[in-house]
Amino acid sequence: MTAQIIDGKAFAATVRGQVAEQVARLKSDHGITPGLAVVLVGEDPASQVYVRSKGKQTVEVGMNSYEHKLDADTSEADLLALIDQLNADPAVHGILVQLPLPGHLDEALVINAIDPAKDVDGFHISNVGLLATGQKSMVPCTPLGCLMMLRDHLGGLSGLNAVVVGRSNIVGKPMAQLLLRDSCTVTVAHSRTKDIQEVTRRADIVVAAVGRPEMVTGDWIKPGATVIDVGINRIDAPEKGEGKTRLVGDCHFDSCAEVAGAITPVPGGVGPMTIACLLANTLTACCRANALAEPEGLTA
pLDDT at residue 1 is higher than 70 = no
The H or E element that residue 15 is part of is helix 8-30
Average pLDDT over residues 199-203: 98
Calculate Rg over the CA atoms of the chain: 19
**b/e string for 280-300 if b means 16 or more Cβ within 10 A?**
bbbbbbbbbbeeeeebeebbb
Answer yes or no: are the C-beta atoms of 138 and 96 closer than 8 Å: no
Which residues form the catalytic set? 54, 98, 121
pLDDT at residue 9 is higher than 80 = yes
**pLDDT for res 46:** 84
pLDDT at residue 225 is higher than 90 = yes
Mean confidence (pLDDT) of the chain: 96
**pTM for the full model?**
0.95
Tens-digit pLDDT profile for residues 124-160: 999 999 999 999 999 999 999 999 999 999 999 999 9
Average pLDDT over residues 16-38: 98
Confidence of residue 255 (pLDDT cuts 50, 70, 90): very high
Q: What is the three-class DSSP state of 139?
A: coil
* Lowest mean pLDDT, pick from 80-89, 145-154, 232-241: 232-241
* Lowest mean pLDDT, pick from 1-5, 20-24, 202-206, 277-281: 1-5
